[in-house]
Structure 1
């Protein structure tokens, strides 16, 4: 389960407003034959992606590799499973979904494929999707749940924010080992690609007007050829000119002098330095710190903030820290 949870963190926030989920499948010899995560909203859920990979490893049938549409993958597995999954065990970080929407029901698929056991970390709190455990049990599949439940709940934190208040506000920071955050590029290419993946699905980037005027950033997702999110520029008065880079993309740019008066729905990414963080930190749900393994003279990131690390992961040469307000 710990492996499945770690896999899910590799795609954290990228499937919003859906939760991050990981799935791992063992064969009859307890060898790992599939390990997948839910990578994008509307794409295959972790269970479906893992079942697809496991099917190839168990059957040798690679035709399913050509299928991308989740409903078509579902249908192919139903028609061709031939009992391959009867002696498998499936570990999933979240209760398999009971309903069918943009993607098919994972619980109903599992009830057809009939693995010997499904092991779950955390129950689904989203009522429209919950009920998967009951479907599995009614098909005589052994179900165990509550495994590493606290870690499973930490994984769900961005999704839980979306459920509770219709928004998730992430402050992204890049800094060096000694805390300096100025003077040139800090993060590795891998960290920047991850950031651009998040930008491509974010509703807004929130940034100080001072940073826009000083750095004239693009604030797009060019590294993944994705969409450019809307921009909310915070400052005392609007001094943004139309020749700035942020106006070159097809998006909305909004000026605001008081962040507290803005309804921040959906997924919002805050970018900036220490002064901007001090200004906006009371609205922030989570920090994502990209820590680069080098040091350089310069101003350090400063602020009063008490948090708890939800996850630590390697991204390229960097360490990424997901930190929840304590």
Structure 2
């Protein structure tokens, strides 16, 4: 099937429309309805759980029969199940759509299959139109669907000999300004920043994302504190621009499940050796950011403590994905082996 330039342009428009919707538990999806001559008849996007999906939102702007013989251009495969709303595949068929183009396959166990339903009814379907751009738009959401939980990045700063602090506990600053600014940039890309109560009590971090001059960045991760000890009323984290979440549970899987239900897709763990080691030990780490300074500290305060490895054969093997020079420091980015967990997707 030949994809026309006007259809590719419509997909670019659909991708732009998609970002109007909220990022979270549900995917951001955009849709454009094209007349046979290439004119745009209607546009739509998904506005959140319980609202019309993008295809239905666009169709709702047309008069009965106006979509007959038209083409639907959608960023995600039309869903094939009934949740809070009905299946988009059936809505497109009922409207008389004769051709459907979409960018990304729906990975859901229940919601997928819309393309097959449409083809079986005689509709022309083309998958993967601007697929790379579509996957980039939905990258965090797709990762959550694969894992069945938020994507977890664990970050630490260490000396060349693997220490996260000097023997007296002081750790500001192991790395230089360029490395610290890179951390703030990455914080702003996350949905939640997670620390333990030990870090809160010892360092009193604000857990904000700031620019080089100390001003708050536009995007702020939601602060999350894990641990049984109480966070003091005057703690800096309580003055964060977003309301912090507190978990007394040590069950990290349950914490991640709770965060996912609240729309968190990207978790940035900055909680010190105890919490970082707990995430590694539980097999819940997808990416490691290790900022290494050309400094020697010695002593007992390692960047990680016990992660359950008793012999070299049980070592946690990572894949080094990038090495970056940041001033005098080095950033090592490594990824863990994927641990897929089947999960349904659209809440509808």
**Counterpart position of 2:331:** 303
Q: Tell me, what secondary structure is at the counterpart of 1:167? A: coil
Cα distance in structure 1, aligned partners of 2:65 and 2:82 = 23
2:151 aligned with 1:165, yes or no?
Answer: no
Q: Describe the superposition over 1:33-68 as per-residue Cα deviations: whole angstroms up to 9, x where unpaired.
A: 444432422222121222234x2xxxxxxxxxxxxx
**TM-score under structure 1 length normalisation:** 0.55
Higher relative contact order (CA 8 A, sep 6+): 2
Which one of the candidate residues 221, 224, 243 is aligned to 1:231? Answer: 224
Q: Within 2, Cα distance between the matches of 1:269 and 1:301?
A: 25
CA distance in 1, matches of 2:128, 2:185: 39
> C-alpha separation between the residues in 2 aligned to 1:260 and 1:242?
24
- Classify the secondary structure of the residue corresponding to 1:109: helix
What is the DSSP-based 3-state SS (H/G/I as helix, E as strand, rest coil) of the residue aligned with 1:91? strand
Shift of 1:241: 1.1
**Residue 264 of structure 1, CA deviation:** 2.2
Is the 1:4–1:92 contact (alpha carbons within 8 Å) kept by the matching residues of 2? no
- The residue number in structure 1 matching 2:31 is 23
Instruction: Give the whole-Å Cα distance in 2 for the aligned partners of 1:37 and 1:243.
Output: 42
Is contact 1:274–1:302 with CA below 8 Å preserved after alignment?
no
Contact 2:151 2:265 in 1 (8 A): yes
Listed as ranges, the matches of 1:71-220 within 5 Å are 81-169=63-151, 179=178, 205-207=193-195, 210=199, 213-216=203-206
- The answer as to whether partners of 2:69 and 2:97 remain within 8 angstroms in 1 is yes
Q: Which has the larger radius of gyration?
A: 2
Displacement, 1:238? Answer: 4.7
Distance 1:186 1:155, change over 3 A: closer
In structure 2, distance between residues paired with 1:274 and 1:5 = 39
Deviation at 1:84, TM superposition (A): 0.4
Displacement of 1:208:
5.8
The answer (yes or no) to whether the contact 2:196–2:272 under 8 Å persists in 1 is no
Distance 1:301 1:239 in 2: 35
Find the residue that maps to 1:305 and give its secondary structure.
strand
The alignment's C-alpha RMSD in Å is 4.8
Alignment correspondent of 1:68: none
SS at the partner of 1:253?
Answer: strand
Greater share of helix: 1
Quick check: 1:264 aligned with 2:252? no
| Residue aligning to 1:10 | 19
Cα offset, 1:119, TM superposition: 1.0
The correspondence for 2:49, drawn from 41, 49, 74, is 41
- Aligned pair count? 244
CA distance in 2 between counterparts of 1:160 and 1:263 reads: 20
Give 1:90 deviation, angstroms.
Answer: 1.1
User: Structure 1 259/99 Cα, relative in aligned 2: closer, same or farther at 3 Å?
Assistant: closer
What's the offset of the Cα at 1:261? Answer: 7.9
Instruction: Assess, with a 3 A threshold, how the Cα gap between structure 1 residues 170 and 105 changes in structure 2: closer, same or farther.
Output: same
Cα distance between partner residues in 2 of 1:89 and 1:109: 13
Gaps of 5+ in 1: 56-80, 220-227, 288-297, 308-326
Q: Cα distance, 1:86 vs. partner?
A: 1.5
How far off its partner does 1:95 sit? 1.6
1:99–1:105 contact (8 Å) kept in structure 2: yes
Shift in Å at residue 165 of structure 1? 2.6
What secondary structure does 1:136 align onto?
A: helix
Alpha-carbon distance change, 217 to 145 in structure 1, aligned in 2, over 3 angstroms:
closer
Query: Does the CA-based 8 Å contact 1:229-1:251 persist in structure 2?
Result: yes
Deviation of 1:20 after TM superposition, in Å, equals 2.9
